Structures are given as C-alpha cells and as structure tokens.
Amino acid sequence: MAERAYIGLGSNLDQPEQQIARAVSALQQLPRSRWIAVSPLYGSLPWGDPDQANYVNAVAAINTSLPPRQLLLAMLDIEQAQGRDRSSGRRNGPRTLDLDLLLYGSEVIDEPGLQLPHPRLRERAFVLLPLADLAPELILPGAVPLRSLLRPEFASLCWRLPATRIPN
C-alpha cells in the first residue's frame, strides 16, 4: 500500500536552484513511487552555523510503497550522486544537497538513523512554509494541524523566491 511521504530539499552550494531541480528529477524516478508535487522554492537563513550562504529550500510530495528506511537510503544515494560530502563532520554546514524524510503517512518511528516525523520539523520555517504550500490542511501525527505550527516570525527566516522552473 502506498503512503504519502514528504521530503525536505535544501542546498546552498554549487548553484542551489539547479541542485534542487536535479534532486526533484531524481525523486521523480524513484521505484515503487508516484510523483505528486514540489512546493515553490524558498530562501532561508543558514540553520545552526551562520558562516555560510543562505539556503534554497523546497518540499516534495510522493506516494510510495518503499518502506521508510528504503526510501531514506534512496534519498541518501541521491545526495551522494549530487556531491554531498558527509565526511567533514561539520553539522549544519554548507552542502550541495540535503534531503530529509519529513513525514511518511502517519508513521511514528524512533530508530537509530530514522525518526519520523522528522525530529526538528516543528521548528523549521524552511520546512513548514513550503509544506504548507503543498498540504495546508495536513494533520501531523499526534493530531497536530500543520497550520497551528506556522508563526509570524517565520517571515524573517524564510521567504518565497521568484518563480523558478522546477519540474512538477
């Protein structure tokens, strides 16, 4: 049975908008999955480590019958194919591509290397604003309306970018 999965996309290196577009194209090719949509692109201030360029972010929606761990591994392969280097040890540092599995249906998982919903989803404007563009009526696990997590101060942390052609 297919589940709706939401995937966060982010980049601040090597032409970030093109990195996002390539990642969308790769996500559209995932096996046992059907592409739904991608949000508009957003700009955001760097998270955690301010000594880097601003990010370009989006959220994608797919229906998939891949199990969550298998989907996560496919996402890590896409990151690596686009030059993501996790060996620096610099947490929240600059990156060519960051893909985060945000939600997988109503699953709640807490395992090493896989937490759903994403553990920092509720505090990140760069995830919540594009997610609200895709699914404004979404109810998160625990019966939390997405709309209830949106805060006015997000406007200073994350902003919609001018229209860019991302395949939908």
Catalytic residue positions?
Answer: 84, 95, 98, 100
Burial of 129 by CB count in 10 Å (0-12 exposed, 13-18 middle, 19+ buried)? buried
Which segments of the chain does DSSP mark as H helices, in order?
16-28, 68-81, 125-134
Yes or no: say if 42 and 160 are a contact pair by the CB < 8 Å rule: yes
Yes or no: say if 109 and 121 are a contact pair by the CB < 8 Å rule: no
List the structure tokens of 64.
Answer: 């998939």
Across 14-70, where does the E strand assignment appear? 33-38, 42-44, 55-64
Instruction: Give Cα 114 distance to the centre of its chain.
Output: 14
DSSP, res 75: H
Instruction: Give Cα 106 distance to the centre of its chain.
Output: 17
